Amino acid sequence: MKAREWGVLLVLSGAIFLEGIDIAMLNIALPSIRHDLGLSTGSLQWVVSAYVLGYGGFMLLGGRAADILGRRQVFLAALVVFLLFSGLGGLAQDGAVLIAARFVTGLAAAFMTPAGLSIITTGFEEGPKRDRALMIYGAIGAGGFTLGMVIGGLLTAADWRWVFFMPVGLSLVLLVAAAVLIPRSPRPDRTGQRFDLLGGLTITAAVVLLVLGVERAAHVSAVWTAGTVAASLALIAAFVAVERRTAAPLVRLGIFRSASLVRANVVGILFMAGFFGFQFLAVLYLQELRGWSTIEASLALLVVGIDVALAPTVTPKLVQRFGNAPVLLAGLAAAAASFALFFTAGMESTYLELLPSLLFMGLAFTLAYGPLTIIATNGIAEDEQGLAGGLLYTSFQFGAAIGLAGVAAVNVAATASDAPQALLDGYRAAMLVPLGAAVAAVAVGAFNLGRRTPADVKEPALAGAA
């Protein structure tokens, strides 16, 4: 790659790293935020849920906006909004302002993330160069998820507000670099590309309700959850009807005829459900049961970040030799091994006894994240790369919501009391959720996930019919 290409790649990788650490740092800072602002448990949950709703709900809209309005323009505008509202979150003096700031920050990420990914997939020709770029991009993005808790723990020890101010500084550096390095591209040809407003409204409302239903499942009645999910499914049906009839759909339904794309998104849901559920339980185990401090728990999880070093160096060589699908499958199997090994964690387990589980989790991200990104975008037409990225990251966010809601619900149901052994029993029961998700991901990944199909190539007759 040329020097400018390296610069563009590092800027965009920095943006996905920023998005990853923003989520992970907040999770570790929640107890300090509750204490300082006097938030109830319900309000504290909304600090997380507001970001998830903005991010997951508007991702498809953001991806399509990048395709139609211009990827560079959308990326830069979204990064500015992300910067401003991260700062507002750090300055918040009450829960309402913080929750509103988190929602808009998530919305900005929903436009920034698919725009950044599509700049890579359209700026690097398909083949070894793009694969290498996506491996590096995926490695740095995964590092945000895995290292964010460590960074968040260190910042929270000083003041939880630095969890919001640090992204402001990083966003500013990335914004300046992006404005200089990301090349201007010709204005997209919008002939026949009018924005599908009705489709955008229906799918955004559907995803918001679906994520909300999953996120709140452990805190509300089953009737409320069923009603929310039913309303979401009705809106999805309405969205499909709209897309079949519009001349310029937000989502060309024919894209889902690609078995590889569909399986990649299913694996993305399951993989992130497992990881976020595991991360949540590991933190509870270390801090609530074992009494480790925030910094101690964060440093204990540092080993998961080995993917930052291994993914851009080792994974490309493995992919070159074995292909994306086998390497991805190995990563999914490593995730299942990680969750299975964590069942051995007991009341007096040493860190060395916990280490194999954490190492396997780092290996899972090393092997899975990059190949999964490649499989989800390879073969997709250039004018739909933003859409493909939006689909993948919507799957990631929805998977995170499912994983967190699932482990929270099982943990509450299986914990009989506040006694140490009861807490441990609750964690072990809840760990079945990540393990089940990982096993299901292995099963889906085994179905020749990397096989290319011609279904994602646009055909005029199909595009109109879809």
DSSP-assigned letters across all residues of 75-103: HHHHHHHHHHHHHHHHH--SHHHHHHHHH
Average pLDDT along the chain = 84
Higher per-residue confidence, 460 vs 67: 67
pLDDT at 367 over 50: yes
Q: CA 329, 266, 243 angle in degrees (round to 5)?
A: 145
pLDDT at 267 over 80: yes
How many Å is the maximal CA-CA distance in the chain?
Answer: 66
Predicted pLDDT of residue 193: 58
Q: Give 335's pLDDT tier (boundaries 50, 70, 90).
A: very high
Predicted pLDDT of residue 191: 55
Q: Quick one: what percent of the chain has pLDDT higher than 70?
A: 92
pLDDT at 435 over 90: yes
pLDDT at 360 over 70: yes
Neighbours of 376 (CB within 10 A): 28
The mean pLDDT of 398-407, rounded to a whole number, is: 82
Strands (E), 230-379: none
C-alpha 409: how far from chain center: 21
CA dist 220 and 224 (Å) reads: 7
- By the 8 A CB rule, do 431 and 342 touch? yes
Q: Which of 76-90, 190-204, 321-335 has the lowest mean pLDDT?
A: 190-204
pLDDT tens digit sequence for 8-35:
999 999 998 998 888 778 877 877 888 8
The mean pLDDT of 194-208, rounded to a whole number, is: 78
Q: Give 153's pLDDT tier (boundaries 50, 70, 90).
A: confident
pLDDT at 461 over 60: no
The mean pLDDT of 373-387, rounded to a whole number, is: 79
pLDDT at 177 over 90: yes
Distances (CA, A) of 46 to 55, 209, 215, 236, 263: 14, 14, 10, 24, 31
pTM: 0.80
Structure-token pair, residue 113: 């993330």
pLDDT tens digit sequence for 43-84:
776 787 788 778 877 887 888 888 888 889 999 999 999 999
Question: The CATH number of 3-183+193-465 is which of 3.10.450.50, 1.10.230.10, 1.20.1250.20, 2.60.40.10?
Answer: 1.20.1250.20
Contacts of residue 157, Cβ cutoff 8 Å, sequence gap at least 6: 294, 295
Read off the amino acid at residue 292. Answer: W
Higher per-residue confidence, 142 vs 313: 313
Extents of the domains making up the chain = 3-183+193-465
Q: Give 453's pLDDT tier (boundaries 50, 70, 90).
A: very low
CA dist 110 and 67 (Å) reads: 14
Predicted pLDDT of residue 344: 92
Predicted pLDDT of residue 194: 64
CA atoms 61, 66, 70, 72: torsion sign? positive
- The secondary structure of residue 419, as a DSSP letter, is S
Higher per-residue confidence, 403 vs 461: 403
Q: CA 175, 180, 182 angle in degrees (round to 5)?
A: 85
- Residue 42's φ and ψ, nearest 5 degrees, are -65, -45
Predicted pLDDT of residue 9: 92
- By the 8 A CB rule, do 16 and 141 touch? yes
CA atoms 368, 371, 374, 375: torsion sign? negative
Nearest in space to 61 (alpha carbons), one of 251, 192, 240: 251
The mean pLDDT of 306-330, rounded to a whole number, is: 87
pLDDT tens digit sequence for 89-145:
999 998 899 999 999 999 999 899 889 988 988 888 877 888 888 888 877 887 787
- Residue 93's φ and ψ, nearest 5 degrees, are -110, -5
Higher per-residue confidence, 167 vs 194: 167
Contacts of residue 82, Cβ cutoff 8 Å, sequence gap at least 6: 18, 105, 108, 109, 112, 167, 171
pLDDT tens digit sequence for 216-246:
776 778 898 889 989 989 998 998 898 888 8
Read off the amino acid at residue 211. Answer: V
Structure-token pair, residue 167: 């992204």
Neighbours of 412 (CB within 10 A): 12
The mean pLDDT of 388-407, rounded to a whole number, is: 82
Distances (CA, A) of 402 to 198, 241, 301, 359: 27, 27, 22, 24
CA dist 311 and 139 (Å) reads: 5
Contacts of residue 200, Cβ cutoff 8 Å, sequence gap at least 6: 60, 61, 64, 250
Q: How far apart are the first and last CA of the chain?
A: 38
Predicted pLDDT of residue 112: 93
Q: In the block, which residue shows the tokens 């979401």?
A: 232
CA dist 268 and 208 (Å) reads: 18
